[in-house]
Structure 1
């Protein structure tokens, strides 16, 4: 079943990089007590993700925070080392990178996709959502091959 507005974010283990190395975080704990703009990309360093999706959230970080967002986070079915390198290369310090290395979170959301045709295996779909204290307020899932409704600009227009 695919997550929808009004649902509680399912629990899954995500990993974020810290000064001391990878740190496991439970999704429900991460989203507790704050309003988060979360976006998901099929993979770090992939064309649309690197050229448009991440840069859009970096560019609009101040606008999102002015609109009431406490934290901006990105998830992908990559490991924490890849997510950390991607964050650094894109100077995306305003975005918390949450590695979903095994695709557990994407599957729990019902938003996994089969990227095996591109040699990528199972990945998470491209989407964005606003999560307020663990509850999904807004979710925008892209059609395959598109990049419109999961952008930072679209999120700001629909808040």
Structure 2
């Protein structure tokens, strides 16, 4: 079952590459007492994720934060090496969190996993965005197709803020 607006996020631990190496970050550390924009992509370095989805959040980072958001994070079912390389290549390192849900546990707990084996990707995340306040989902937008980044994009999120 998919997580719904008004529900608390499940507890999970991600890995994130930092300038000092990999660190573990829990949902509690990231969301407790904060207003956070979280968006998910099927995979780092994939075309829609890299060319359409992520850039909007990076370009509009300051505008989003100025609307009372404490943090922005992107999550994917990739390992922390891949997420770290993606953060570095896109200029996003240190601007937003690039969270590795390496085994898909968080994604599956949300009910937002997708079998993209037909495209050679295996089990990944659906593309979505959510606004989370103190660990509770306040808004959720899930794309109908993994190749689209409209309802979950930065422009749509800024309208919700």
Tell me which interval the TM-score lies in, with the shorter structure as reference length: over 0.9
Aligned partner (choices 146, 149, 154) of residue 147 of structure 1: 149
Report how far residue 146 of structure 1 moved. Answer: 2.3
RMSD (CA atoms) = 1.1
Q: Segments of 4+ in structure 1 off by > 2 A? A: 18-21
Question: So what's the TM-score if we normalise by structure 1?
Answer: 0.96
| Unpaired runs of at least 5, structure 1 | none
| Unpaired runs of at least 5, structure 2 | none
Report how far residue 26 of structure 1 moved. Answer: 2.0
Map 1:65-84 → 2, pairs under 5 A: 65-84=65-84
The aligned residue for residue 111 of structure 2 is 110
Counterpart Cα distance in 2 of 1:158 and 1:132: 13
Report SS of the residue matched to 2:11. Answer: coil
The aligned residue for residue 126 of structure 1 is 127
Count of residue correspondences: 159
* CA contact 2:36–2:133 (8 Å) conserved in 1: yes
The aligned residue for residue 52 of structure 2 is 52
* CA contact 1:78–1:99 (8 Å) conserved in 2: yes
Deviations 1:125-148 (A, max 9, x none): 000001111111111100023221
* CA contact 1:9–1:28 (8 Å) conserved in 2: no
Map 1:20-31 → 2, pairs under 5 A: 20-31=20-31
Report SS of the residue matched to 1:78. Answer: coil
Counterpart Cα distance in 2 of 1:26 and 1:71: 14
Deviations 1:39-74 (A, max 9, x none): 100000000000011100001101101111110100
* CA contact 1:17–1:81 (8 Å) conserved in 2: yes
Counterpart Cα distance in 2 of 1:115 and 1:25: 27
The aligned residue for residue 9 of structure 2 is 9
Deviations 1:17-54 (A, max 9, x none): 12332222222332111111111000000000000111
Counterpart Cα distance in 2 of 1:64 and 1:147: 17
